[in-house]
Structure 1
Amino acid sequence: MNQPTADSRTRILDAAEALFADRGYEASSTARIAGHANVPKGLVFHYFPQKIDVLVALVDERTFVEELPDGSGAAVEAVPGDPAGTLSRLARRLPLHASPAMRRILFREADTHKSVRERLGRLNSEVFLRARRALELAHPGARGDQARLEAAAATFTAVLIYQENLAGLTGQHIDPDAVAELIARALGT
């Protein structure tokens, strides 16, 4: 038999991602994952001793936002006086790495798997911190009203993270630029 390769591991993860997104974690057996990946079932267990390890690897390796080095907002390009444009640029440049399938998996499995829930929380926190920092830099007057600033950042974060999930459920696509403009107007700019 051939030695396991990194390509085999990738095929297993690709298969699991497709199956978990389509059927859910519980309805996707390791045998089905192996079949979909075109590898022997034992190879799945070679890389992932338990089925939950496949889910954890997917979540850890395929959903992330590159974290800011010190939370300073260094990666946020803000234009003072232009919160809408700043948020729009943030949405386009945000290194949010999660395919539509991975976003479905995150939302579906967050209720039943702690590691998934924690990853979703970290994604949400990082995007929120960037959105808040972008708004602080673009609209310095908003700093005096932290509650509105945080509500604006949370709203924008929700749109960025949840839009794929919403599109999958309803077919609706939300334009982040339109949301950025709405948020800027709500902040009084």
Structure 2
Amino acid sequence: MSDSRTRILDAAEELFAETGYDGTSTARIAEVAEVPKGLVFHYFPQKMDVLLTLVDERTAIEDLTEFEHPAQAPDSDADPAGALRRVAARLPLRASPRMRRILFREADTHRSVRERLGRLNRELVRLASRALEAALPGSRGDTARLEIAAATFATVLLYHENLYHLTGDRIDPDAVADLLTQALT
């Protein structure tokens, strides 16, 4: 990736987090990135492309292929709470408080960001479900309960990120993982 492109995205992340997408001009992004304004448009034809690229590139979930094929998971006999903790530890929103702020602020007004948040939720549910299947091999016939537990866990993780952004309060995902898995076992 180009150094200039990275500087543009870094500047946009900083500015969108501070003043919001609508409150940030492309001229200001170029100024903070220390690049000509035309270079912003070279990489991103419209300002919305900057936002969408930020959201897509900086909210991708880390590689969790260990959960893709539950029977092949490295810790398939591990405790289910530990499996959920591994999913929570890789939640991308923890990596950047700015991106978390952008996601939850801009989801209200920009459909594309709201859709990305929905995809993120579905990814988390899928991965949490796979993690639980791997850790609870005898429960494969109980798909509905695993899906509900996975959806609950994903909801709590995303709610926690939003709550932390708004108030600074924290929810302990480990405690939630313990509570959910106690109900499953």
Q: Which of 50-59 and 33-42 deviates more?
A: 33-42
TM-score (norm 2): 0.82
Structure number having the greater helix percentage: 2
Q: Secondary structure at the match of 1:49?
A: coil
Cα RMSD after superposing both structures: 2.7
Give aligned-pair identity as a percent. Answer: 65
Q: 5+ unaligned residues in a row in structure 1: which ranges?
A: none
Match of residue 50, structure 1, among 34, 37, 46: 46
> Is the Cα contact below 8 Å between 2:67 and 2:73 reproduced in 1?
no
| SS at 1:64 equivalent | coil
Is contact 2:125–2:154 with CA below 8 Å preserved after alignment?
yes
Question: Corresponding residue for 2:3?
Answer: 7
Please identify, of 135-144 and 24-33, the stretch whose mean Cα deviation from structure 2 is larger: 135-144
Return closer, same or farther for 1:19/1:173 CA change in 2, 3 Å cut-off: same
Provide the TM-score with structure 1 as the length reference: 0.81
Q: Unaligned regions of 5+ residues in structure 2, if any?
A: none
Do residues 96 (structure 1) and 68 (structure 2) align? no
Contact 2:4 2:35 in 1 (8 A): yes
CA distance in 2, matches of 1:84, 1:67: 16
Looking at structure 1, the residues matched to 36 and 157 of structure 2 have their Cα atoms a distance apart, in angstroms, of: 38
Aligned with 2:21: secondary structure?
coil
Q: Does 1:25 align with 2:21?
A: yes
Alpha-carbon shift at residue 155 of structure 1 (Å): 1.7
Tell me by how many angstroms 1:81 deviates. 6.8
**Cα deviation code 1:101-145 (max 9, x no counterpart):** 112212222233233223222222222111112212323454444
SS at match of 2:23: coil
